Chains A and B, each alone.
Chain A
Amino acid sequence: MMKRSFALLACFVSVAALAAAPASVPGFSHVKSLGGFDEYRLESNGLSVLLKSDRTAPVVTFMVTYRVGSRNEVTGSTGATHLLEHLMFKGGPNFNDAKGNSVKQFLEGIGGNYNATTWLDRTNYYAEVGSEHLEGYLAIEADRMHNLWIREDDRRPEMTVVRNEFEQGENDPQQALDKEIFAAAFQAHPYHHSTIGWRSDIEQVPIEKLRAFYDTFYWPDNATVSVIGDFDPAAALGLVKKYYGGYPKAPQPIPTVYTEEPEQTGPRCVLVQRAGELGVVGVSYKSCAGSHADYPALRVLANILGSGKTSRFYRALTDKNLTTQVTTDAGFFHDPALFQVYAYLAPGITHEQVEKIVNEEAARVRTVGVTDAEVATAIGKITASVAYARDGSFAIASTLNEDIAAGDWTLYVTLPDAFRKVTATDVKRVAGLYLDPNKSTTGWFEPVVAPAAK
């Protein structure tokens, strides 16, 4: 049954890959084609373009991914990437609320699904619209790459908006714990701080620093535009050239992040004590970059440990009423990040009990390994989830965005094959390599008793 399903999926991928020849439009060089995607470079300014035409529904997703995220921030400007993302909706001389043609007004007038997100390695802006609206959106999106107003009068009210977003995150015990685990695990590398930033930086970052951030990173040669869905490739390239072609390359090289995290030489612990109901134990291990050859096996390992009722943590913890849930995540980022386990304690259960079992299970996969059957089940789940995540233009763009951020968009095409090739031997090897107690950071969220009733 499993083999039949995967063969079907592979067949569709192959058919897509054999689709049309790349378009030839003056001003663009064709870089490569893979898995139904065609990659081009706008020669005048280095803008990367990814096209995937699928005309089964009259819907198109247009997305621009800037290769700048919170990893590009330093002390004093943490959260600046995200705050700037908010200011990108304040308009410029050509498109703004007063004129009635701002990005919000245009997209909501046509019922488009749109937003922007910021993360560790990237910032993206996107809209999913009826295909007849592609040019209208593309024109506004391109304009704000170069002509954005960045004004103190906009920053002030937007700062409190973002601060409330920060506050909403602080309400969640797991988010609060996650911030502290990353901060303890990364001492030098900028993954140390979260994308939302530190509260004092959100409140006080000067407008000049935000302007400098925009002037440094928002250039065509630091961006990839993706067009997915119902469009004609040559026409889409024509639109990209029309609206982005007038911008120059960045005047200075885009700064690179050269800081590497020093080797961790012993286990680290953090304790977060706040008002709450139930405890949480988080155990994180230093892992590899998303583009590293070990990532597929780590993803399979995460699945075996934490996905569904057949997983090891479910059997060892949740099924015994020690936890309400256990999640695992292999971490898919540009730089080496964390392999994370979060165990949510059931009422009356201690952190020590749960942490001990998490560590015992980790030791068991390191020393004994996993079975072929566990690997086959994990690959089945991952392969299906890949298929589900490719169902439509917006879903495709969302996944592609993270592959671009990880440094190689072709991971979108190559990772599914890599997952299918993972063996039990591979999983045991990466478990031994990465689930190293000396490279772990363990965090407890410990709820404190709320004030007594008056």
Chain B
Amino acid sequence: MKSLSQLSVLLACGSAAGRALRSSALLSVAGCSLLVITPLHAGIAENASRQKVAGIDVVALKTGVRDVVTIRGDLPAGDSRSPDTNSALADLAAGMLDKGTTKNDKFAISKQLGDVGANVSFGTNSAALNISAKCLRADLPLVLGLIAEQLRTPAFSPEEFAKLKKQLVGNIRRAMEDVDSRSDIAFNNAVFPLGHTNRRPATAQFLADVDKATLDEVKAFYQQYYGPAAMKLVIVGDVDPDAARGEVGKAFAGWTGGSPAPKAAKAGTVDAARDQNVFMAGKASVSVLWGQATQLRYGDPDGLALRIGTTALGSGFTGRLMANVRDKEGLTYGIYSAVTNDTYADGDWRIGAQFAPELLEKGLSSTRRQLAAWHKNGITEAELASNKGKYVGSYKLGLATTGGMADAILNTMNRDLPLSFIDEFGPRINSLTLAQVNGAIEKHLDPAKMILIKAGTVPGAMPVPAPRG
């Protein structure tokens, strides 16, 4: 019950822990989102109505799916908005949203949603508060109303705040058991400087900040950053767009505030290659991340060219990394390359893999050979042609789900691109030349200045004390 995503990022999914954990697949994959849709040839920009409603940038799109509606949204109140004095305020503010409002406690809200089988969740990434919901068509007014109620009138109960702090510490401590989580945070901190939109707080600092945060600080953060200004909401599925906008207007009427995200400085590159070990005892497989900052956003002129080149290196089973490091040499279960984190700001380029400790050096050597040859010689005309098909086909299949479509629309908005970009995606990819792709690889990447993170029981590495919350 898993599948390979567009960027070959390994994702786990499954409705029940036991079921998901006992199945084995050729490769872990995604495939959890809702399927079926608007005919792929239909103009999405033409059919998706985009309007300001109660100050919110709203897109509503009716698709061919029956009865199901997916909602995605965000507003710029992510981790990077937390002040220097406390890195945890954005997460704590988001965490208070589903802990009750001034009208209903959390159990009453949960019951209202549960009775109709609807889901509403809030979370944060480095840039934004993320809103995600799913419901049946008839329940859209109820769900929009509850989203608005939770965003507008959180109760900020001291008792719930105390519980949330403990939950957050528990979740962070549990994530510290995971080699991929540990390599990811180390890679992030090595690639993005302090103050960059994508920079995440270091784990030890974050745990200390959760501990010292006060409810008044969280309320002040909420007052400063929450509101319709720069908020986006996407509603996709079995909806009447006019009616959906009407419900948004009713639910959010009179809400004010919010703060557009400032433009952040771009990440720099390092002067020379750097290795960093994150030692974790008793791990049977080591997580590796290898890469650098790109200084590119998704919509920059070389953005798509670099993506196609990266797809040829490390997407799917026919990419060079899987074909060689896995299929020919048997050194890993999964290895990929990807351009990531470039939606809100300039992002990063990375190779990700896991290796058994005793095969780590062999795996890294094999990967280094593939990376060097790819960077030096670029990709071939044949690879360009086949990867155009792979990339465009995969993008279109992603749109064949309400979740995939809603994500694509929201990402396009956050990338400051027009919705017509979605319709033009295929022609844009197909118009790329070999010179553009190989030129982008050479211009924006330098294997001699990449950062290599190894997390797990790395042979020869020294244990370090883990942060405690």
Contact = CB atoms under 8 A, between A and B. Distances in A.
Interface in B1-56: 1-4, 15-19, 21-27, 29, 31, 34-41
Given A85-B26, A163-B356, A196-B24, A9 B67 contact: yes
Contacts of B389: 108-111
11 contacts: A12-B67, A56-B64, A59-B397, A104-B317, A111-B389, A160-B356, A164-B285, A164-B356, A178-B17, A329-B19, A383-B117
A347 B173 contact: yes
A265 interface: no
Given A57-B64, A105-B318, A308-B110, A111 B390 contact: yes
Contacts of A277: 173-174, 176-177, 466
A1 B142 contact: yes
A118, A278, A385, A450 — most chain B CB neighbours (10 Å):
A450
B383 to A, nearest CB: 11
Interface in B121-149: 134-139, 142
Interface stretch (A214-222, A354-362, A373-381): A373-381
A54 interface: yes
A327 B463 contact: no
B386 A108 contact: yes
Interface residues of B, number: 102
Given A196-B24, A329-B17, A278 B173 contact: yes
A310 B111 CA distance: 6
Interface in B399-426: 400-402
A412 B244 CA distance: 32
Nearest to A394: B35
Given A346-B170, A447-B177, 7 more contacts: A117-B24, A164-B331, A195-B22, A195-B23, A377-B115, A392-B34, A448-B282
Contacts of A171: 178-179, 283-285, 456
A384 B118 contact: yes
Contacts of B26: 85-86, 89, 115-117
A256 B328 CA distance: 36
Would you list the 9 A-B pairs with minimal beta carbon distance, nearest first?
A: A111-B393, A392-B35, A384-B117, A157-B330, A275-B282, A392-B36, A309-B110, A160-B330, A167-B284
Interface of B: 1-4, 15-19, 21-27, 29, 31, 34-41, 64-68, 98, 106-107, 110-111, 113-118, 134-139, 142, 163, 166-167, 169-171, 173-174, 176-179, 280-285, 316-318, 326-333, 354-356, 359, 386, 389-397, 400-402, 456, 462-466, 469
Contacts of B115: 1-2, 376-377, 380
Nearest to B316: A108
Interface of A: 1-2, 4-5, 8-9, 12, 54, 56-59, 82, 85-86, 89, 104-105, 108-120, 128, 130, 156-175, 178, 182, 194-196, 274-278, 307-310, 315, 318-319, 321, 324, 327, 329, 331-332, 338, 340, 342, 344, 346-347, 376-377, 380-385, 387-389, 391-396, 398, 447-448, 450-454
Nearest to B468: A347
Contacts of B1: 117, 398
